[in-house]
Amino acid sequence: MRALFRRLLAMSVKAAAGLAIVLATIILVRAFDARRAGPLEPWHTVELESEMKAGELDEKVSLSHYLAREEILFREVKARVESAVGPEDRVPANRYWSDGPLSPASLPIDGNRTFELVPEKIRGGVLLVHGLTDSPYSMRRLAEIYRDLGYYALALRMPGHGTVPGALTASTWRDWAAAVRVGARHVRGRAGAGAPFHIVGYSNGGALAVDYALDVLEGARLPRPDRLVLVSPMIGVTRAAGFARVLGLLGVFPYFETSRWLDVMPEYIPFKYVSFPVNAATQTAALTAEIRSKTARAVESGSIRSLPPILTFVSLVDATVRTEATVSDLYDRLGETGSELVVFDVNRSAGVRPFLGRQEENHLARLLPRRLRPYRLSIVTNSGPGTDEVVERAVAAGSEQAVVRPLGLSWPRNVYSLSHVALPFPPDDPLFGGEPPTGNALQIQLGTLQPRGERSILAVPVEQLMRLTWNPFFPLLEERVREWATLPAGATP
């Protein structure tokens, strides 16, 4: 027996040693590969001192205090980053060149800052939370919809965002969650007692909205939202996100400092980071794990049924988050709360279908098999195999029968799917839209870029430039949001 134990112990030690060697090899290969991304710029390395952290964002912090610190923060960016841009970086495609065409300060709207929209008469309030690497700009159209319906709308800049991508090397999901609490208290106060209070979250902001609502279920002394609206919510991420911290271990050494980054790219988008640090992926993994734990507790206690109704929009294919997690980890566990899930299918027209991967051909059927559900399911898909026109196939909660409704909308030419980043932007968005308005003041329209040429030439990967950045079916999203926003508090959609 002792001999057997020694043999098993020796085998275990060898296996552990082998695993350690493999892991060390992966880290080293990743570190040397990261060095090829080029040197880091000031906007990657400067540590901003004015950003508020979770420890400062308690219930005594007002929005005015938050905005005052935000103003100091942007002055710090100007002094320590924009003034440090050297001659070689004073190019039109650099948002940090203060005299360049993409400098946020030179544009009609600085979408990186917190903004408020106030109607003539306030009948409700909405807090809008943007996504990871993003800015309040991505929430502008949704905020306008709510404002037009009489809602006070606050689009809050999350800590670490809207300034420099290096700020995300130090931000945590708890900083973002604390900021959401500050915003929620302010919106509830502006809306007034008894008025509807909604939270709208995009991507990582969707995760923060769900986390906030779960905290309320667990007894946190916070304003209870009447409804949640989620757009491409980050309910689940790939396992690689949780492994990202390991890949960045060698970043403590100056020679391998770029290993703290998953992507280092030119910052050509005025209201969104293009570079992506390891810490950002680590924080999303931690946040989604927190949501899973709180959801499990809510299911076990039965309090999950007390969540407010949730309206969610997702793309069937999404390279940033796991769409299936929104279904399995959230919606299938809700119970009958009056919630709705809207799924934008891939383009299945005859011209595009032959180019779809095999796994995408049956992705919808695998994700959403026909069965009874406790929520309304709406699928936006082609009306037939030979047309680009789309219809809505809606199945009511507790039913298997689909009701088909023509939408008067079609897939644009050469578009085969939506994307994670496309859903909140209408076709006429000045920066991300495919049909920007006449007289657009912006000198770059990302939604209209169609680069063609030889491969491996551009500083930004072609797949990044070709990713769809606007939603051709935004009219449906707007219609449904308006419908939800006009319902009285407590009413079921």
Q: pLDDT value at position 363?
A: 82
Return the C-alpha torsion angle 198, 316, 448, 426, nearest 10.
-30
Residue 287's identity, in one-letter code, is L
Residue 241's identity, in one-letter code, is A
CA distance 14 to 290: 34
What's the pTM value of the predicted model, to 2 decimals?
Answer: 0.89
CA distance 132 to 272: 9
Burial category of 351 from C-beta neighbours within 10 Å (exposed 0-12, middle 13-18, buried 19 and up): middle
Place of tokens 């020694």: 6
Q: pLDDT value at position 259?
A: 75
Place of tokens 């308690």: 58
CA distance 139 to 82: 26
Q: How many Cβ atoms from other residues are within 10 Å of residue 254's Cβ?
A: 6
Q: pLDDT tens digits, residue range 160-178?
A: 999 999 999 999 999 999 9
Q: Quick check: helix, strand or coil at residue 65?
A: helix
Residue 401's identity, in one-letter code, is Q
Q: pLDDT value at position 339?
A: 95
Return the C-alpha torsion angle 226, 488, 114, 221, nearest 10.
-30
Q: pLDDT tens digits, residue range 302-339?
A: 999 999 999 999 999 999 999 999 999 999 999 888 99
Tokens of 222: 């916070």
Q: How many Cβ atoms from other residues are within 10 Å of residue 91's Cβ?
A: 13
| Strand (E) or helix (H) holding 125 | strand 124-129
Tokens of 52: 């508020």
CA distance 258 to 368: 41
Nearest to 268 by CA among 114, 135, 101, 433: 101
Nearest to 320 by CA among 394, 260, 238: 238
DSSP state of 182: H
- Taking CA atoms, 364 is separated from 19, 86, 320, 350, in Å, by 37, 50, 18, 17
Nearest to 364 by CA among 409, 415, 327, 312: 327
Chunked into runs of 10 residues, the chain (493 residues) has average pLDDT values of 58 50 40 54 93 90 96 96 92 91 86 97 97 97 98 98 96 97 97 94 98 96 96 83 50 55 92 95 95 96 94 94 93 92 91 71 82 94 91 94 95 92 95 81 73 76 84 97 84 62
Q: pLDDT tens digits, residue range 258-287?
A: 678 988 999 999 999 999 999 999 999 999
Beta carbons of 49 and 164 less than 8 angstroms apart: no
Nearest to 383 by CA among 356, 358, 363, 407: 407
CA distance 472 to 428: 10
